Amino acid sequence: MKKSVRPINVAIVGATGRVGQELLRVLEERNFPIGELRLLASARSKDLTIAFKGKNYPVQEINPEAFKGIDIVLASAGSEIIEKLAPLAVEQGAVVIDNSNAFRMDPSVPLVVPEVNGHVLKTHKGIIANPNCSTAQLVVVLKPLHELGGLKRVIVSTYQSVSGAGKEAMDELENQTRAIMNDEDYSPQVFQRQIAFNLIPHIDVFLENGYSKEEMKVVEETRKILELPDLPVTCTAVRVPVSISHSEAVTVDLERAVSPHQAREALANSPIIEVWDEPDKGIYPTPLDAAGKDPVFVGRIRRDTSSENGLNLWVVADNLRIGAALNAVRIAEYVVEHNLLMQPVTT
């Protein structure tokens, strides 16, 4: 990104969590122009220090006073916390980029993947929502397909890694796997059922319509980001025993016929998509391929034999990056580059 005239003061809410740690990693990798850095977390973490660019930073307890003089807040905490703190941060002149679901469906709050709908950031009033991790990687792929053939319907089944449920969930997968291999008892603490050597078609709570809240997030957020409020979207969300990276089996029905070759070309032209699609040579993306990487990977692109203008695709991305930290930092970069801070900075 272009360098600004002055450094940008950044606060990270939830700095000690898995996404908070990934935010710090991404900020350093992308050389974001940080001036002052404040690391905020709950009271139990306030005596910790975290290294960033060779310097140790103390972790401070989250409180409204911590946002004074801050330009951008990267928030990775529970929605109840953010609902209270975000307006207070905005009042003090900060732009809040929120990873929770607190504001995603608020009509006055932009829900953004910059490469898909960055233009809506011009309307922000201080709070910007980062989408659900499964939605983020999905819309990156749907956007060029819509431009090419016009989306008529989307069917997605997600295969979501345990990191989407936090560090405790990752620990549970590791500990439960070890216990089973050693013929020891291990009762689930984080998940509803055993996750090691198993799949769980249950993410978040179930709603009256029979869908889980996670599934409806994908439906509603996809429509909002693509600015297609009537687009038929359906989703089945499944937790799988994988540490990092979400995978998705996606079927799209299009208004116009699009060949797999045309789809590959359109997707490959995206700056954040890598097409790995030579299945006869064993070339297709897996969660391990995507872990720690920035792109959204797409493979298994083929005609849907059950639909005249349908295509099937396999989509994989690191959920901690494209679905959280990386997307949040890209939003921050866009805000800075387009002079959209609450306290504008000439770029």
How does pLDDT run across 103-155, given as a tens digit for each residue?
A: 999 999 999 999 999 999 999 999 999 999 999 999 999 999 999 999 999 99
pLDDT given at position 242: 98
Predicted confidence at residue 1, as pLDDT, reads 65
Which tens digits make up the pLDDT trace of 59-111? 999 988 899 999 999 999 888 889 999 999 999 999 999 999 999 999 999 99
pLDDT at 44: 85
The beta-strand segments (E) located in 99-180 are 127-129, 151-160
Question: DSSP 3-state assignment of 315?
Answer: strand
The pLDDT assigned to 320 comes to 94
Q: Which of 124, 133, 146, 235 is catalytic?
A: 133
How many residues belong to the chain? Answer: 347
Map out the domains of the chain as residue ranges: 8-131+324-337, 135-318
The CA distance from 265 to 148, in Å, is: 10
**Catalytic residue, candidates 124, 146, 235, 246:** 246
| CATH architecture for segment(s) 8-131+324-337 | 3-Layer(aba) Sandwich (3.40)
Torsion sign (Cα): 83, 85, 88, 93: negative
246 is known as an active-site residue: yes
- Say which DSSP state 276 is in: -
The residue type found at 87 is P
Helix, strand or coil for residue 216?
helix
Most distant CA atoms of the chain, gap in Å:
62
Q: Can you give the pLDDT at residue 246?
A: 98
The third-level CATH classification (topology) of the domain covering 135-318 is Dihydrodipicolinate Reductase; domain 2 (3.30.360)
Q: Which residues of the chain have pLDDT under 50?
A: 347
Check the CA dihedral 107-108-112-116 and report its sign: positive
Rounded-to-integer distance, Cα 224 and Cα 226, Å: 6
pLDDT of residue 347: 47
Give yes or no on whether 8-131+324-337 and 135-318 have one common fold. no
Report pLDDT for 156.
98
Q: What b/e sequence results for 98-107 when a residue is b if at least 16 CB atoms lie within 10 Å of its CB, and e otherwise?
A: bbbbbbbeee
Alpha helical stretches, state H, the chain: 18-29, 79-91, 114-117, 133-149, 167-181, 213-226, 260-268, 287-290, 326-337
